[in-house]
Amino acid sequence: MAFPEERRGRRVASLGGVSIVDEIGRDRRRRDGVNTGTARRTARVFGADGRSLVVAFDHGIGGANHGGMAVPGRTLDELIGAGADAVLATVGLAHQFQEKLARVGLVINLDLCTGHEEVAVREATLLGADMGKFIFTPWSKDVPDSLARTAHVVAVAHDYGFPLMIEPIPVSFEQTDAHTAENIGQAAKMACEVGADVVKMQYTGDPASFQQIMSTLYRPVVILGGPSRNDDRGLLQMVRDTLDAGAVGITIGRNIWGHERPGHMVGAMAALIHEDASVDVAMRQLEPAFAVA
């Protein structure tokens, strides 16, 4: 006599009259739905061409109240109107400027969520965010468990179908002697392995070493801008070099919202990212007389 749960000649265990196979099937369908949610949310941060211009506008969490950060509503209008695909913001900005941010992809800063990851991820999803951003500082003596922290927040976020942008910074922003090409490459690789949906990483400083690193990575890479450069051509050349090496875009803040004409800088970045323009062509977007949409 065959058992009711017997399939293909083997007996399947059951729980409360429901076979484990059924439970696994339900879990798989739930996971497929979560994966679909992750993909849909990630797509909101990218343009139709698979590239992304994200303006990092979360520096207020560190007290930044100058430049475009001093007048966030007006600056957001300018950045979004000029063609930003998404904005990296704080929870406070997301609450205050919901209508403005509804026009673009929304990435929420989750750097301070350690210890309350689930609450932070749930709040981000309730705000309608499309992605979270979390900083990862390998080899830091101040945060020796940074890898474990990052792995945990990735797992929590993915359980909600919520993608994560991981920002690997060797040791810390301040310890610049640790920001070698080798360390930058290893940190980016670790971000991929821990489950990042997007990697926000530093430029190594030269195309050859960056190209070598990019050949080892398998998640989309966007480039951060770092400290204010006061060198428009140098900034645009860096973006051009990283795009040519395989990066899919940027997540740059101070060098955009701190610029005297933030919208023009977004226009210049958009020309590089979405139109594959040369640096010379992109530089024309920065001319005062150039019209910004």
Q: What span, in angstroms and rounded, lies between the C-alpha atoms of 192 and 188?
A: 6
Q: Per CATH, which fold does 17-284 belong to?
A: TIM Barrel (3.20.20)
pLDDT of the residue at 228:
81
Q: What span, in angstroms and rounded, lies between the C-alpha atoms of 29 and 39?
A: 15
- The four Cα atoms 34, 39, 43, 45 give a dihedral, to 10 degrees, of 60
**Residue 135 has what DSSP assignment?**
E
pLDDT-derived band at 37 (thresholds 50, 70, 90) equals confident
pLDDT digits 0-9 by tens, 118-140: 999 999 999 999 999 999 999 99
For residue 220, pLDDT over 70 is answered with yes
Q: How far apart, in Å, are the Cα atoms of 55 and each of 27, 88, 224, 241, 259?
A: 37, 6, 10, 19, 12
pLDDT of the residue at 8:
38
pLDDT of the residue at 23:
45
Q: What span, in angstroms and rounded, lies between the C-alpha atoms of 11 and 209?
A: 56
For residue 1, pLDDT over 70 is answered with no
For residue 34, pLDDT over 60 is answered with no
For residue 227, pLDDT over 90 is answered with no
Cα–Cα nearest to 229, from 201, 256, 264, 269: 256
Copy the structure tokens of residue 265.
């800088």
For residue 66, pLDDT over 60 is answered with yes
Q: Provide the mean pLDDT of the chain.
A: 90
Residues of the chain with pLDDT > 70: what percent? 86
Q: What span, in angstroms and rounded, lies between the C-alpha atoms of 95 and 183?
A: 37
Q: 224, 201 in Cβ contact below 8 A?
A: yes
Query: Whole-model pTM?
Result: 0.87
Mean pLDDT of 277-293: 86
If phi over 0 gives left and psi between -120 and 50 gives alpha, with beta otherwise, what is residue 90?
A: beta
pLDDT-derived band at 31 (thresholds 50, 70, 90) equals low
CB atoms near residue 40 (< 10 Å): 12
For residue 21, pLDDT over 50 is answered with no
